[in-house]
Structure formats: structure tokens, C-alpha cells
Amino acid sequence: MWTLAALAVPGRLLGALWSLLAPLLLGLWAALRPAGAQGGRGLPEGRPGPQGAGEEEEEEEEEDQDRPLTPTSVNYHFTRQCNYKCGFCFHTAKTSFVLPLEEAQRGLRLLKEAGMEKVNFSGGEPFLKDRGEYLGRLVRFCKEELGLPSVSIVSNGSLIRERWFKEYGQHLDILAVSCDSFNEEVNALIGRGQGRLNHVENLRRLRRWCRQYRVAFKVNSVINRFNVDEDMRAHIQELNPVRWKVFQCLLIEGENVGASALREAERFVISEEQFQAFLDRHRGLPCLVPESNAKMKDSYLILDEYMRFLNCRAGRKDPSPSILDVGVEEAIKFSGFDQQAFLKRGGKYVWSKADLQLDW
Ligand code: SF4
């Protein structure tokens, strides 16, 4: 006891001295350390700049990474079922499960309380369940009950009827329709097609309805081996979407590549150079929003049919616990979501039709 008491006095003195000197020493070290010795992470790719500016950005990024994740924009894939058979599909029909409507609404309310501003309903094909009724009720719920600034849908468009627009169009901000080619033969090769429905003619009809019912119209295209040489400029100009999202075909283990996958998408894959050549050809279109594999990586918050976040960090979709069981704050820790990558790819944009000021 005596020895410990005797040691405690110089220990306290040393502690007080250290708390006085530590800020001075750390400040001196930060000022004098070599430029390369910054803890292992360099400037973000493609953003060279003066050394000082780089350090500031890096500090901001580190602060951002410490911030709790917010589900600002969520992609809810409530069904995996689809009436198409696209060869590169990266969210395939591995289950037929869909949550009861009330449970889905409960989860959406939890997300809103956690900071969600935009929800995008996707699949599978979201209009397949109850001929679009399930989807329509979710859309109305998110706008009317939750007051979300933005509610959007991604669909292949084949099952959308005018009566859906009449009933629910007013609650929808953006409808994105997938179209990979303006050549029906190419669409058939890709697997985007069903019976006698002409995918391109249908796209034009949906464009008209969007104008009539005041829903912002968007086109999504996946660039792959079969459409990479196509020139789509005239068609896109005619359709005049608010955004044309152009994705590079992506491989996901267990979905479209690997032993347990329902697709074999390797034959659709294109190189970075091929993707860039496609983008260069369409560069003049102001609505073009390119998304390479690198940009897509970890920059989407994806919720599956059980309301589990899907973590794609390892190149496959590893599910978190469901937000319905553990809440959003806990589940999102397993999401693999990179908030910085989301902002860098322009994930936040004018997404409410009230703010888009469209010339319908
Ligand atoms: S339309 Fe979409 S969900 Fe359906 S098979 Fe094609 S890529 Fe998959």
C-alpha cells in the first residue's frame, strides 16, 4: 500500500505535465510530418489538388465516416419475382416472399423516422404483385402518410396500365423504366421482352402517360455486350427523360455469377474502355447519368424483401438483420453503405417533382 501511495504522487504530476504538453507536441508533429505520412489514405481517385486542400478534404471525409449512417435514399426491392428474364439480372427470383402490406408500411415508417427522404420501389418487377395495387398503396402511403419528398419506382414497364396512373400517379414523383435497346431484336437477346409486347412502343406509351399524369419520366439502361455499340441519341432526345441512367453491366456473386446464381451474366460483361466509348458517343445528352461498376460500388442502400439491408462489399449480397426485428440504426451498421460514395456519385439530386419545375 505504501509503495503504491508513494508512486501515485509523481504519477499524478507526470499526468498533469502531459496534459499541458500533449496539444503542443501533437500540433508540432502535424505541422512537420511529411506529406505522404497521413495515415494510409490518399486523395480520392480522380480528385488531384493542392496538398493543403487535399488534407482538408481528407479530414472532412474522416469526420463524415464517423457520422452515423442515415438512410437518406433507400431502394426497397420488395419482390424478387419478375415477368422478364434478363440475362444479366442482378436481383433474381430467389424467393417469392413479399411482406404483408402493414409490415412493409411499418418498416417504411421506421426508415422515415431514421431520416429517409426518398424511397425507390424496385424488384423484381414491382407491378407484378396484385397487378400494381400493392405498389400503389405503398406509394400513396409514403407520400400521404409519411410525407416523403420523393417516391420513385423502377420497372420494366410491361405491366403498367393507365388506370394505375389515374389512381396513384399523383403520389409518384419519378417513374424509371428500363430500356437497354431501341432494337427489339437486341431486347429479345438480352431477355427483356414478353410475348408480343413491343418494349420500345410500350416505353413511348409510358412516356405519354407520365406527361399526362405529371410523373417525372426516367430511363435506365444497362450497357452490355449486346448494346454497347448502339447509338441511342435520337431516341433518348425524343423521349426527353429527366434523367437517363446508364449502368455498366455488373456481376454479383450468387445472383448472376457463381454456382448458386440463377443467371450466368459473364457473357454480358464489357470492359471499362467499351463502357467509356458508349458514354463518349452519348456525351452531348444533358440527361445522361453514367454509372460505372466503380461508381455503383457500395453507394446504394438496398433493402430486400424481408427489409434486410444487403451488403455488397464482398461482391455478393450479404443480408443484415431485418429492420423490423432490430430497428434501422442497428441493421444499417451491417449495410456496407458508403455515404461518401453515395454523395460522390450524385445520389442526392432534385428528386421531388414539385421542385423539378417540369415543362410537362
Ligand atoms: S426486368 Fe429487371 S428484375 Fe426483371 S429480369 Fe430484367 S433486370 Fe431482372
For 56-82, the pLDDT digits (tens) are 555 555 555 567 899 999 999 999 999
Positions of E strands within 99-173: 118-122, 150-155
CB atoms within 10 A of CB 301: 26
Per cent of the chain over pLDDT 70 is: 81
Known catalytic residue at 142:
no
Report the range of poorest mean pLDDT among 26-30, 137-141, 181-185, 344-348: 26-30
User: Given a cut of 50, is residue 38 above it in pLDDT?
Assistant: no
114 CA to centre of ligand 1 in angstroms: 30
Dist CA 353 CA 191 (whole Å): 32
Dist CA 148 CA 129 (whole Å): 23
Which of 89, 153, 160, 227 is the pocket-test mutation for ligand 1 (most atoms within 8 Å of CB)? 89
The half-sphere exposure of 228 on its side-chain side, counting CA atoms within 13 A, is 16
Amino acid 195: pLDDT: 72
User: Given a cut of 60, is residue 189 above it in pLDDT?
Assistant: yes
User: Cβ contacts of residue 308 below 8 Å, gap of 6+?
Assistant: 319, 320, 321, 322, 323, 331
Dist CA 103 CA 107 (whole Å): 6
Amino acid 359: pLDDT: 76
DSSP letters spanning 51-66: HHHHHHHHHHHHHHHH
CA 125 to each of CA 134, 160, 166, 358: distance values in angstroms, whole numbers, following the listed order: 12, 10, 20, 27
81 CA to centre of ligand 1 in angstroms: 9
Dist CA 136 CA 151 (whole Å): 11
Return the SS3 of 156: coil
Return the SS3 of 37: coil
31 CA to centre of ligand 1 in angstroms: 54
What pTM, to 2 d.p., does this model score? 0.81
**Mean residue pLDDT across the chain:** 85
Dist CA 105 CA 219 (whole Å): 27
Task: Report the chain's C-alpha Rg in angstroms.
Answer: 25
Which of 92, 95, 156, 179 is the pocket-test mutation for ligand 1 (most atoms within 8 Å of CB)? 156
Dist CA 194 CA 196 (whole Å): 6
List the one residue out of 93, 100, 61 whose CA is nearest residue 79: 93
| Residues 312 and 301: beta-carbon distance below 8 Å | no
Domains identified in the chain and CATH numbers: 73-347 (3.20.20.70)
Amino acid 150: pLDDT: 98
User: Cβ contacts of residue 304 below 8 Å, gap of 6+?
Assistant: 77, 80, 310, 317, 319
Given the CA of residue 191, which atom of ligand 1 is nearest to it?
A: 6
Q: What does the pLDDT look like over 233-267, one tens digit per residue?
A: 999 999 999 999 999 999 998 998 888 889 988 99
| Residues 332 and 116: beta-carbon distance below 8 Å | no
**With bands split at pLDDT 50, 70 and 90, how would you rate the model's confidence at 191?**
confident
**With bands split at pLDDT 50, 70 and 90, how would you rate the model's confidence at 11?**
very low
